[in-house]
Amino acid sequence: MPTSILIIEDEPAIADTLIYTLKSEGYLPQHCTLGSQGLEALRSGQYALAILDIGLPDMSGFDVCREARTFTDIPIIFLTARAGEIDHIVGLELGADDYVTKPFSPREVVARVRTRLRRTAAAPTSPTAASAPASETLFEVDAESGRIRFHGTLLDLTRYEYLLLKTLLERPGRIYSRDELMDRVWSDALDTSDRTVDTHIKTLRYKLKVINEDKDRIITHRGMGYSIDTGKPS
């Protein structure tokens, strides 16, 4: 049976593109343009995932998400038009699972959808944090499998996020400049910009925060760079 996905988005061009791409990937997308309609549809319980625009005509996507989280825990992926909104998503405890910044490629959105659904299917019914082994180690790097655990929970990282975090973890407390991180992490990348490091730091922070928001583990040193705090003296 095809997986139903709800798209809550008021811009027809964006919704049409998403519908087309999701259908071509074998999903069953349905679409509404208002937040209130979206909430009503979600209450039916038939959707495996929701893609949610932030700027909706009747209410903000933030409010839709907050309300939806009172009755469902399906993955929610935000569509954001402005970088400032990302801070908002990260800052508020909305329970969003991911976000994509407009303009985006439909392929990218589908890739996110697939990842989220796979994670949902694989996740145990109890919270992962509770089943994690009691460990003194805040971060566990498994270089062989290219994965990192935080508070015992496996992080879902892109390749560059992984390399960035792994580099910072080599020497906790040490400040790495942007240039150094560019050299170390993006040495093979063809397409980078001044914002590359900062953007990845931002998504890393978000992913750590989703697991544990006691403390920001990535420290910004103005004009100097970034370091990581693992709770131990370096």
- Cβ 68 to Ca ion, closest distance in Å? 17
53 binds Ca ion (CB under 5 A): yes
Enter the tokens of residue 143: 């270089």
Single-letter amino acid code for the residue at 179 = D
Q: Report the C-alpha gap between 192 and 171 in whole angstroms.
A: 25
Q: What are phi and psi of 4, to 5 degrees?
A: -85, 135
- Cβ 79 to Ca ion, closest distance in Å? 8
DSSP 181: H
- Binding residues for Ca ion, how many (CB under 5 A)? 3
Give me the 2-31 binding string for Ca ion, x by CB under 5 A, dash otherwise. Answer: --------x---------------------
95 binds Ca ion (CB under 5 A): no
67 binds Ca ion (CB under 5 A): no
Enter the tokens of residue 33: 């343009």
Shortest-Cβ-distance residue relative to Ca ion: 55
Contact between residue 110 and residue 25 where contact means Cβ atoms under 8 Å apart: yes
101 or 137: whose CB is closer to Ca ion?
101
81 or 218: whose CB is closer to Ca ion?
81
Single-letter amino acid code for the residue at 208 = L
- Candidates 28, 55, 147, 177; binder of Ca ion (CB under 5 A) is 55
Enter the tokens of residue 27: 């999903």
219 to 100, 173, 222: CA distances (angstroms)? 24, 9, 10
15 or 157: whose CB is closer to Ca ion?
15
51 or 201: whose CB is closer to Ca ion?
51
User: What are the helix (H) ranges across 44-158?
Assistant: 61-68, 83-91, 106-122, 128-131
172 binds Ca ion (CB under 5 A): no
- Cβ 78 to Ca ion, closest distance in Å? 11
Q: Which spans of this chain sit near Ca ion (rule: CB under 5 A)? A: 10, 53, 55
